[in-house]
Chain A
Amino acid sequence: MAKIRGSIVVNIDRCKGCEVCMVSCPTGTIAMAKEVNHKGYFYAFPANPDLCIGCASCAMVCPDGVITVYKTKI
């Protein structure tokens, strides 16, 4: 059976580290980085990229429009 796989792109410079995407991700793909961006925010990143299903939940709730989402069937 075809499996849905997703992938996100996070624009690090624009992330404000609010964590709203992280708690909205149903699969636990996203975590906050241990280092900060140039503005001093711990930015979001796909810590478990294999878990992403491309549902775009993170992108929908990101107040700063930082996340782009891709999805495909494998």
Chain B
Amino acid sequence: MAEVTGIKEIIKPENLVYKKTKLMTDKVLSYCPGCGHGTAHRILAEIIDEEGLQSETIGICPVGCSVLLYEFIDIDWQEAAHGRAPALATAIKRLLPEKFVFTYQGDGDLAAIGTAETIHACNRGENILIIFINNGIYGMTGGQMAPTTLPGMRSSTSPYGRDVKIMGNPLKMTDIVATLLGTYYVTRQSVHTPANVKKTKKAMRKAVQYQKLNKGTCFIEIVSNCPSNWKMTPVQSNKWMEENMFPYYPLGDLKIPAEQITQKTSNSEKND
């Protein structure tokens, strides 16, 4: 391995503060430079590792840029047909209720071809975690418009920008599933800055712990970038995301478990 290092004397095992988790395999990620998929994978792998769930986890891969996800995290996987991950996750969780079962899906997968599977799995309150990477576009197939594409946003199938009169308004899937009684924890995060990575990791840890309670579906949207199809540098794309995606898809919790709300109010009462 060719490497460059900072001050050599500090590089000792006892000073180690951050190293890629061993749950990430040695395969080179198939993503474009700066794509949020890689960061999202690593956070997920870290949580599965830290919670000691490597042999207890079954993930469902989507169709999309992350179709090869099973190559990158060293756990058990199933590949689903495009959009069908929540249906497959339902089957696996019902057959193996002791396992931690999650899906990882893009917006084309989850919010277009798989809309029905997503909504019905959440409505049935399947005890699975759904991780939703929303980059507002079909990445893998060349940047076509997705249901989540912003108004006025250019894509290869909306070259003059999305005209909402003809193409409808962007679908806020996370807001929709938050209204369903079957969902237990619904949140929207991002992974483009260190602070956001920390928040997403916290959300993912909560979701993994909630899954153990068998109280319904946990749903984490990660608003992400697609520098290649947005035709920007990675750093520009993250800035564009903050300025354009976040106003439409604001970050934060959309639904938190009732127990937590009671805890929060009693805490604030204590503080009063």
Residues of chain A at the chain B interface (Cβ within 8 Å): 5-14, 16-20, 23-24, 29, 33, 37, 41, 43, 45-46, 49-50, 52, 54-57, 59-65, 67-72
Contacts and interface: CB of A to CB of B under 8 A. Distances in A.
B263 to A, nearest CB: 28
Contact of B194 (A5, A11, A60): A60
A6 B6 contact: yes
A74 B4 CA distance: 22
Interface of B: 1-8, 10-12, 15-20, 24, 28-29, 31-39, 42, 191-194, 197-198, 227, 233-235, 238
Nearest to B28: A14
Nearest to B42: A65
Is chain A's interface secondary structure helix, strand, loop, or mixed overall?
A: mixed
Most buried by B among A16, A18, A29, A49: A18
Contacts of A5: 7, 10
B1 A45 contact: no
Nearest to B196: A61
Contact of A20 (B7, B8, B20, B235): B235
Nearest to A29: B6
Nearest to B238: A20
A55 B193 CA distance: 13
A63 B17 contact: no
Contacts of B38: 62-65
B233 A19 contact: yes
B203 to A, nearest CB: 15
Nearest to B39: A63
A-B interface, 10 closest residue pairs, ranked by CB to CB distance from nearest: A63-B38, A18-B34, A7-B6, A16-B33, A65-B20, A49-B6, A7-B10, A57-B194, A18-B33, A69-B18
